Chain A
Amino acid sequence: MIWTPYEFAQAGMIGTDQVASAATQADRNTVLGFVNRADVANRLQAMGVDPKLAQERIASLSDQEVKSLASQINSAPAGAMSDAWAVILIIAIVIGVWYLWKRM
């Protein structure tokens, strides 16, 4: 029950979730049919998230987001750390290029 957004619980009502997404009817059926929030929560758990937290995290996603998360959890960029040296290196190269360009 935790997965059921309340607008779907209201029989006969069309929710903003449905009208606002650009998804077609077929897309929506796919999302609702194949996205299983519990499965995605399990995958979060497998990646080291506490089970209760994993459920809460999944609960705050839209259907579309659950679907994206399911397909990208291993590949999507995970912002992590500041690699200051890489930045300094890039800056050094940009300055170098600029300097040499001026001299040419």
Chain B
Amino acid sequence: MIIARGRQAVAGNARLVAGVFMLALGALLGGCASMAPQTRLLGQNGLPPGVPRHFELKQVPFFPQDEYQCGPAALATAMSAAGVPVTPQQLVPEVYLPERKGSLQIEMLASARRHGLVPYQLAPSFSDVLTEVAAGTPVIVLQNLGFASDSWHYAVVVGYNYDRGGLILRSGETEREIMPFILSEMVWRRSGYWAMLVVPPDRIPVTAEQNRWLAALAAFERVGERPRVQLGYQTFLKRWPDNANGWVGPANTYSAAGDLTEPARVRREGLARAPDSPVVLNNLAQTLSDQGRDQEALPLIDRAAASEGPFAEEVKKTRAAIVAKLNGGRSSASGN
């Protein structure tokens, strides 16, 4: 009897446990939609237009990671695919942070610049990732694979299969990891959907937003080799010639190289496109002033000063300097 009772009790407990478990599962499943909202949207809306149902960048190289060094491995994968052959070992001194036993996102972006590539952080969108991959660019994603604690990991998306609902990744020690969309999103979401890619300066990522791409080029200008920086700006202007801010960079890089005539030419071209931009006006005025042509510079800087804007302070300074030079009698109408 005692044994039977015991059995009954066990059976009853088992039913209770099973019931609670199912309830918990129900809650979990109900929560799934909110755990992977983008996957649900992808299921409802289908793929972005023009993107094939399955696609894989098979030629993207694979670098199995050493301990803790998924950052350098992922970056080497993406950079090699962009035409700059590097090994993870070469990148360790650039991105690895010994005390943290890992690599920070900001440094992942910065390292690419040092190798002549322009890094771009994608919008936090699943379909943007698929769009970029389908356009031929592997995408680095930051995942949190930890269960009880955090375990951050960089992996490279190199393909997907929409019908099977999964991503294909180079990840850690796995050359071709297939991860369901829902799971990919769950681990990716925890990084705030952080994703980046690297491209040569003459390529604009297909999902790039023009102002954010210009900011990416501006950051590249800091360390990139000048011809590559120029190439980046030229490519930008071919695509978005009416972006006044786009005209600022190319002329500045010529100026920095000590060239006095080319910047003025580029700035005039920019002015024709954006006649009211205080920034373009300011920089053209400054260029002319540098050439000793302050008489010509004055009306331009006056036009710039007429509009209130975020650069009013800089414009005021430029104008004061030009006026001072004119009053000092060092004005000169010489020049071509």
A interface, CB within 8 angstroms of B? 5-7, 9-22, 24-25, 44, 46-50, 53, 56-57, 59-62, 65, 68-69, 72-73, 76-84, 86-87, 89-91, 94, 96-97, 100-101, 104
Chain B contacts for A50, CB-based, 8 A: 93
Find out whether the CB atom of A69 lies under 8 angstroms from the CB atom of B97. no
Smallest Cβ distance from A17 to chain B, in angstroms?
4
Chain A contacts for B171, CB-based, 8 A: 82
Find out whether the CB atom of A90 lies under 8 angstroms from the CB atom of B183. yes
A22 CA / B212 CA spacing, docked (Å) = 9
B interface, CB within 8 angstroms of A? 22, 25, 28-29, 32, 65, 67-71, 74, 93-94, 97-111, 113-114, 142, 144-147, 150-155, 171-174, 179-180, 182-183, 186-187, 191, 211, 214-215, 217-219, 221-223, 245, 248-249, 252, 255-256, 279, 282-283, 286, 289, 310-311, 313-314, 317-318, 321
Find out whether the CB atom of A16 lies under 8 angstroms from the CB atom of B153. no
Find out whether the CB atom of B252 lies under 8 angstroms from the CB atom of A60. no
Find out whether the CB atom of A79 lies under 8 angstroms from the CB atom of B153. yes
Contact A16 to B256, CB < 8 A, known contacts A25-B313, A68-B106: no
Looking at chain B's contact residues, is the secondary structure mostly helix, strand, loop, or mixed? helix
Chain B contacts for A87, CB-based, 8 A: 145, 179, 183, 187
Chosen A-B contacts, 19 in total, with CB atoms closer than 8 Å, are A12-B283, A12-B318, A13-B286, A15-B252, A19-B245, A46-B99, A50-B93, A56-B114, A59-B222, A65-B219, A68-B106, A77-B104, A80-B69, A80-B103, A81-B70, A81-B102, A83-B147, A87-B179, A94-B182
A35 CA / B90 CA spacing, docked (Å) = 29
Find out whether the CB atom of A20 lies under 8 angstroms from the CB atom of B245. yes
Closest to A62 in B: B219
Contact A57 to B282, CB < 8 A, known contacts A12-B317, A14-B248: no
Find out whether the CB atom of B100 lies under 8 angstroms from the CB atom of A47. yes
Find out whether the CB atom of B29 lies under 8 angstroms from the CB atom of A101. yes
A97 CA / B180 CA spacing, docked (Å) = 15
Smallest Cβ distance from B87 to chain A, in angstroms?
17
Find out whether the CB atom of B22 lies under 8 angstroms from the CB atom of A77. no
Given contacts A12-B317, A80-B100, 15 further A-B contacts (CB under 8 A): A16-B218, A21-B218, A44-B97, A47-B99, A57-B110, A61-B110, A69-B107, A79-B152, A82-B70, A82-B171, A82-B173, A87-B187, A94-B182, A96-B25, A97-B32
Find out whether the CB atom of A16 lies under 8 angstroms from the CB atom of B248. yes
Contact A59 to B217, CB < 8 A, known contacts A81-B67, A90-B147: no
Which of A6, A18, A56, A83 has its CB near the most chain B CB atoms (within 10 A)? A83
Partner of B215, one of A21, A69, A76, A81: A21
A14 CA / B100 CA spacing, docked (Å) = 37
Chain A contacts for B100, CB-based, 8 A: 47, 78, 80
Chain B contacts for A97, CB-based, 8 A: 25, 28-29, 32
Partner of B279, one of A19, A56, A78: A19
A14 CA / B171 CA spacing, docked (Å) = 42
Find out whether the CB atom of A47 lies under 8 angstroms from the CB atom of B98. yes
Closest to A80 in B: B102
Find out whether the CB atom of B152 lies under 8 angstroms from the CB atom of A77. yes
Find out whether the CB atom of A20 lies under 8 angstroms from the CB atom of B152. no
A20 CA / B52 CA spacing, docked (Å) = 34
Closest to A100 in B: B25
Chain B contacts for A20, CB-based, 8 A: 211, 214-215, 217-218, 245
Chain A contacts for B172, CB-based, 8 A: 81-82, 84
